[in-house]
Amino acid sequence: MQIFLDSTDTKVIADLASTGLVDGVTTNPTLIAKSGRPMLEVIAEICDLVPGPISAEVAATTADAMIAEGQKLAGIAPNVVVKIPLTRDGLIACTAFANEGISTNVTLCFSPTQALLAAKAGATFVSPFIGRLDDYGFDGMDLIRDIRTIYDNYGYETEILAASVRNVAHVKDAAIVGADVVTIPPAVFSDLFKHPLTDKGLEQFMKDWAGTGQSIL
């Protein structure tokens, strides 16, 4: 499974990318607003930091305007993925991008049939929002499971990008049900490394090793 960071914080992205475990980055208008920086500059910087797919979201709502914005965003760097909302206009734009060979991430997906349409429109990625569904009393993981079944039934190549991830359990469950990618906030990425038994075991090993008085180097 590929792991993307859901962030526009370039310092944090640079730090976490240095682990060699970050495959891409997703952004959205809220995260751009949080950065307080010009979008085109932030996206260009992220594209330099991480060679994988970097999602940059259009701000328009009509197909023609989305296409114009998406073409500009795609011109920033070869690894830009144009992120478009899962609306009728968004899917018209998605088909146009697919015909032009521009990669897309269809976002704000909340139902299996929306995901079916995104695949038919030639989306590179579809982003089902797990956490926001959970917040409303649904099970976000059911959506990932249903999309996996539909895509496998028909051989769609659109990659399932589990989004709106809130915790380590979401990452584990998304991996079990077969999401292709998970995009996670930096704090959740850092949590993936942690286990109290790892800390406890390491502490004991270090104590016992110190008692031997040996040195490997």
Q: Given the rule CB under 6 A, which residues bind ligand E4P?
A: 6, 26, 28, 107, 127, 129, 131-132, 163-164, 183
Which amino acid is residue 187, in one-letter code? A
Q: Which is nearer to ligand E4P, 51 or 131 (CB)?
A: 131
Distance CA 128, CA 208 (A): 48
Q: Which position among 11, 34, 72, 83 bears the catalytic label?
A: 83
Find the shortest distance in angstroms from Cβ 9 to ligand E4P: 13
The answer to whether 89 and 62 are in contact (CB under 8 A) is yes
Q: Which is nearer to ligand E4P, 10 or 26 (CB)?
A: 26
Q: How many residues does the chain have?
A: 217
Q: Which is nearer to ligand E4P, 53 or 112 (CB)?
A: 53
DSSP strands (E only) in the chain? 2-6, 24-26, 54-57, 80-85, 104-109, 125-128, 159-162, 181-184
Q: Which is nearer to ligand E4P, 166 or 215 (CB)?
A: 166
Annotated catalytic residue 11: no
Distance CA 160, CA 163 (A): 9
Find the shortest distance in angstroms from Cβ 148 to ligand E4P: 18
Distance CA 43, CA 23 (A): 15
Find the shortest distance in angstroms from Cβ 164 to ligand E4P: 3
Find the shortest distance in angstroms from Cβ 103 to ligand E4P: 14
Q: Any idea which residues carry the catalytic annotation?
A: 83
